[in-house]
Amino acid sequence: MVATDAEVRTDPDGAALVVVDMQNGFCRPDGSLYAPGSEAAIEPVADLVDRAREAGAQVVYTRDVHPPEQFEDAHYYNEFDRWGDHVVEGTWETEIVADLDVREADHVVEKHTYDAFHETELDGWLTARGIDDLVICGTLANVCVLHTAGSAGLRDYRPVIVGDAVGCIEDEHREYALDHAGFLFGEVVDSDDLAFVQS
């Protein structure tokens, strides 16, 4: 990925668009962790998916899914204590919103923490396909988007967060996450300044 002035370019042959947790439980008013900012991200995320597909980049979706018993033996990390029961395995909440056209060629990663790389097959799947650049969008900005992007950077991927295609509970949460990501490990770009370009 090469940044030229304000534009960020990526070769679609070595890139994937990673759509984080755009699920009913977060993006729909009936969801247990609904945030209007997550719902507002649906349209810009769908536009990015269309652009990535048209350019020939891979599309990866993550789904946050919690088995009912996941945290029963937890010493400290217990999302149900922090957030209440949410996206419980087998429920409508875990499904990706219908507005996003998940196709057979797309890769769907089921994760159980904020980090899409933690105890999933994502790293191996990307490596096997020669993917080095990850264009990241989805929700929530300061939770799963930030932790997935940071984990990508630690694994020597180049994470680029598309700031106007990221959901949040509060605008200040998104601002913090984007500032932190840009400072520490990645790049932040608006959709209009992102280009999928063959090298």
Distance (Å, whole) CA 61 – CA 192 = 22
What is the token pair recorded at 127?
């490596």
pLDDT tens-digit profile, the chain (199 residues): 333 345 899 999 999 999 999 999 999 999 999 999 999 999 999 999 999 999 999 999 999 999 999 999 999 999 999 999 999 999 999 999 999 999 999 999 999 999 999 999 999 999 999 999 999 999 999 999 999 999 999 999 999 999 999 999 999 999 999 999 999 988 999 999 999 998 8
The domain spans of the chain are: 10-196
CA distances to 12, 51, 57, 123, 148 from 54, in Å: 10, 5, 8, 24, 25
Model pTM above 0.85: yes
**Domain covering 10-196, topology:** Rossmann fold (3.40.50)
Name every residue whose Cβ is closer than 8 Å to that of residue 45 and which is 6 or more positions away in sequence: 19, 22, 100, 137, 138, 165
Q: Percent of the chain having pLDDT more than 70?
A: 97
